[in-house]
Amino acid sequence: MSALRACARLLALAVVNLMLGSAAALFYLLEGGFTQTYARRLRTLSLLWGRWTCRIFNIQIDSMPERPFPKGALIVANHSGAADIFVLAACYPARFVAKSEVADWPLVSWLARLGGTLFVDRTRRMQVRQSLAQIQEALEGGSLLAMFPESVATQELEALPFKSSHFESAVRAGIPVIPVSIVYLDPNRPSIASWGDKNFAEHLWDLLKNQELKVAVKAHPAIEGATDRRALAEQSRDCVNAGIRELRASKSSQGEK
């Protein structure tokens, strides 16, 4: 039964990606590139993609951020696995800052490129400098960007120290940072949403087979006026970890009732 569910969801994902990807490609061609008008249309398409994808996976988010959505802000969150991307995309019409390996993921990479994803390689100093400039330009242009600054996936008990390099873009642009905590409420430990020791295909297949996945999301107040990237990264991580503890404590108290 779970394999049949996974195959049906995979087909639905292909249809959604084809529809929204085709729409994005058409808008891109009509606009002649990544213009401000294309970026505005992309916000709607990105939000649709996130919410439809969560529906396909039966990912149930307990609360959504209130409108109007912020512009020119950097969202930073803890990272368990691929489901985090779907959840954040459903909550915010954001472009993503992703590690360079994502550009090679099947089914995801071509839509990510159309969606304005900024791919970064933290292992090369010159690449970091270039990506800083790209992120800063996007933020100053009014884009809402989302990234996972741990740079690796963890088991959601506590976020690892945040890599501070790309926080420099927010400091230079004078743009607020919005920390977001994500906690999955399934009984598995680690959660089915976590990477574990799996490759991308195995991880995605497990998510496709899973019947339902509940997730708690907490958006913290924006951090503004930061002048030091390391302090900003540390403050953001403290907020995220406080939210993780709060959400997990709330889950435990609900389980006891």
Could you read off the pLDDT of 157-168 as tens digits, one per residue? 889 999 999 999
CB neighbours of 57 closer than 8 A, spacing ≥ 6?
Answer: 9, 83, 86, 207, 208, 210, 213
Domain ranges, residue 142: 1-255
CB 91 within 8 A of CB 64: yes
12-27: average pLDDT? 91
Q: Provide the pLDDT for residue 103.
A: 65
Total residue length of the chain: 257
Show the DSSP H helices in 58-124 as ranges.
Answer: 83-91, 109-114
Q: Provide the pLDDT for residue 113.
A: 75
Q: pLDDT of 96-123, one tens digit each?
A: 988 777 666 665 666 777 788 888 876 6
CB 239 within 8 A of CB 179: yes
Q: Provide the pLDDT for residue 122.
A: 66
CB 149 within 8 A of CB 233: yes
CB 118 within 8 A of CB 39: no
CB 128 within 8 A of CB 179: no
Amino acid letter at 118?
L
Q: pLDDT of 229-250, one tens digit each?
A: 999 999 999 999 999 999 988 8
Report how far residue 147's alpha carbon sits from residue 79's, in angstroms, rounded to the nearest whole number.
9
Q: pLDDT of 77-98, one tens digit each?
A: 999 998 999 999 999 999 998 8
Report how far residue 95's alpha carbon sits from residue 76's, in angstroms, rounded to the nearest whole number.
12
Domains contained in the chain, number: 1
CB 58 within 8 A of CB 212: yes
Report how far residue 192's alpha carbon sits from residue 184's, in angstroms, rounded to the nearest whole number.
9
Tell me the pLDDT of the chain averaged across its residues. 87
The SS3 assignment for 168 reads helix
pLDDT at 198 over 70: yes
pLDDT at 195 over 90: no
Percent of the chain scoring above 90 in pLDDT = 52
Percent of the chain scoring above 70 in pLDDT = 91
Q: Provide the pLDDT for residue 256.
A: 44
Q: Provide the pLDDT for residue 124.
A: 66
Q: Provide the pLDDT for residue 246.
A: 93
Of 189 and 207, the structure prediction assigns the larger pLDDT to: 207
CB 47 within 8 A of CB 90: yes
Q: Provide the pLDDT for residue 232.
A: 97
Residue 130 banded pLDDT, cuts 50, 70, 90: confident
Q: Provide the pLDDT for residue 125.
A: 65
Report how far residue 221's alpha carbon sits from residue 209's, in angstroms, rounded to the nearest whole number.
35
In this structure, the strands spanning 144-147 and 59-61 are unpaired
pLDDT at 154 over 50: yes
Task: Note the pTM of the prediction, 2 decimals.
Answer: 0.90
Half-sphere exposure at residue 172, Cβ-oriented, CA atoms within 13 angstroms = 15
Q: Provide the pLDDT for residue 33.
A: 82
If one counts every other C-beta atom within 10 angstroms of the C-beta of residue 123, the result is 9
Report how far residue 78's alpha carbon sits from residue 57's, in angstroms, rounded to the nearest whole number.
20
Report how far residue 17's alpha carbon sits from residue 23's, in angstroms, rounded to the nearest whole number.
10
